[in-house]
Amino acid sequence: MATLGTDKQWWPTREPPTRQPDEVDMDTTRRETRRNVNLRLPFHDAQCAVVCQEGCYPDKKAHVNQDTFILETGFAGEREHVLIGVFDGHGAAGEHAAQIAAATFPRELERHRRDPQLESHGDRSAPVPLDARATAYARAFVDTDLIVQKNLGDACKSSGTTAVVAHVVQDMLHMGNVGDSRAILGTAREGVDGNAGAWDIVEVTHDQTCFRRDERERMRKEAKEPVLFATLGMILGETPLSEDFGDESIEAADDPPRVFRNGASYPGCAFTRSLGDTVGKRLGVSSDPELLTYQLDKNSRCLVMASDGVFEFMTNEEVMAAAKRHWGNALAACEEIVATAYDYWATEDSRSDDVTCAVVFLTPRSGAADGANPDDLGLPKISEAKDNWRKLRDVLRAGAIKNRPAIRFANAVLAKMAIDVRHRRGSLAMEELFPGFDFESVGLAKRMSSLRGGLAHPDDYVEPTGEDD
């Protein structure tokens, strides 16, 4: 590894494992856990827990967990403040980057909140700051990034960490995010007593990847060097160069679009924002967070925050359903989500990523705000293409390669078809890849608890004539 930027390593690190597994195996001695913490906030009772499980790489000697987390109740000495964060490191110095960020961020946020020249996010009586970049919250991300870079030096060129952070102030949920870790909120349906029925899901973060056109446009404006967005297949000359990636249509594909210096084969990161990653910073990778404020109301039930080790295979619905099964025991919810994610990795890949999950259960108290309609709040929405991808994946898992372990992403059929189409069309768009797939019928079948959808090869598809059969 490249030389660190400091001679004194002040941040914590983990000892490497003493055994080398032959297959994917979840070693529960290689995890950190924050057991159930019960809180009484002004408008909700809350229970929080976190599980941070080391991944398993049978072909990689002595893999050390690169995820970490923070959970501070009574943050900055304020009884009604809670700070929760998940950090997912990457690259040779990824563990260092995540640990530095987790140790630094709370103190930077606390310091900036004391600065009278910066606006701070507050409780329900305080207006939400209009200029996100001029807030203590945003500055905490930016300055944490600078501290990661300073301490890691050259080791930070292609190493860094994601950061998804929730700052709860009474009943105001202030989310900050850089990277592709994710936070989702489960809400009870209006008019339904207690926790009966499934919870609706509100995405309170939006994954920052090269699938997002708005992120690609931002990076081009901010880049100091020429930037290229391409899949590895495009870089290797296997498929034509194109930015027809679709709308987050196959974010679970083996070959997602990545960030490259134009004319070079580096850095190759799939995210568009992070802490660290000094080479990527010159190409427009940003440490400025996307911020979102959401008022927790009488329908708010559960906040889940997790690294992409969870969401690589599990849908938002699967994650929230697992949490709901353990209502009243946040630790048990974390444990099931982590175990399920690990099982997916073991079945569908030859390794497992590090997996971290934080769960916060919420019980409304007197004075909780009336329920709001998420559709009216301008929150990130699941795109139609993204939803269609999930339907495809469900069908494949249900049948085509049900008994094919160690095939990444459960898409042996999907990958072959996608490669064939990309060679011909240079496209990752869902409609281009699978023009014969009946998404509407599959969606209906899934709602009826039956997966009878079909997957037609593009070459077998017959264009409709517009005439009645």
Full DSSP string of 275-343: EE-HHHHTTT-B-PPEEEEEE-BTTEEEEEEE-HHHHTT--HHHHHHHHHHTTT-HHHHHHHHHHHHHH
Least confident stretch, 194-203, 239-248, 443-452: 443-452
The mean pLDDT value of the chain amounts to 82
Least confident stretch, 38-47, 92-101, 310-319: 310-319
Predicted local confidence at residue 427, as pLDDT: 46
Predicted local confidence at residue 378, as pLDDT: 55
Give the pLDDT mean for 183-204.
Answer: 85
Predicted local confidence at residue 195, as pLDDT: 75
Rounded CA-CA distance 107/83 in Å is 11
Amino acid of residue 435: P
Predicted local confidence at residue 381, as pLDDT: 54
- Residue 379 — pLDDT band, cuts 50, 70, 90? low
- Residue 10 — pLDDT band, cuts 50, 70, 90? very high
Higher model confidence: residue 459 or residue 143?
A: 143
Percent of the chain surpassing pLDDT 90: 61
- Residue 464 — pLDDT band, cuts 50, 70, 90? very low
Residue 405 predicted with pLDDT over 80:
no
Predicted local confidence at residue 229, as pLDDT: 95
Cβ distance 396 to 414 under 8 Å? yes
Residue (of 172, 374, 202, 163) closest to 302 by Cα position = 202
Residue 174 predicted with pLDDT over 70:
yes
Give the pLDDT mean for 13-27.
Answer: 91
Least confident stretch, 136-140, 343-347, 424-428: 424-428
- Residue 194 — pLDDT band, cuts 50, 70, 90? low
Rounded CA-CA distance 164/141 in Å is 10
Predicted local confidence at residue 189, as pLDDT: 85
Full DSSP string of 21-46: -SS----TTSEEEEEEEEEE-SSEEE
Residue (of 308, 233, 224, 300) closest to 262 by Cα position = 224
* DSSP helix/strand/coil, 106: helix
Residue with tokens 């140790």: 103
Give the tokens for residue 91: 């690259």
* DSSP helix/strand/coil, 246: coil
Give the tokens for residue 317: 């619905």
Give the pLDDT mean for 366-385.
Answer: 68
Residue range 213-271, pLDDT digits in tens: 999 999 999 999 999 999 887 888 877 888 877 655 444 455 788 999 999 889 999 89
Residue 424 predicted with pLDDT over 50:
no
Residue with tokens 């690259």: 91
Is the Cα dihedral 440, 445, 448, 449 positive or negative? negative
Predicted local confidence at residue 463, as pLDDT: 39
- Residue 454 — pLDDT band, cuts 50, 70, 90? very low
186 phi and psi angles, rounded to 5 deg:
-95, 130
303 phi and psi angles, rounded to 5 deg:
-110, 125
Of 118-122, 368-372, 403-407, where does the model show the most confidence? 118-122
Residue (of 313, 308, 307) closest to 397 by Cα position = 313
Residue range 315-363, pLDDT digits in tens: 899 999 999 999 999 999 999 999 999 999 998 888 899 999 999 999 9
Least confident stretch, 99-113, 149-163, 235-249, 362-376: 235-249
Least confident stretch, 5-14, 197-206, 222-231, 414-423: 414-423
Give the pLDDT mean for 9-36.
Answer: 93
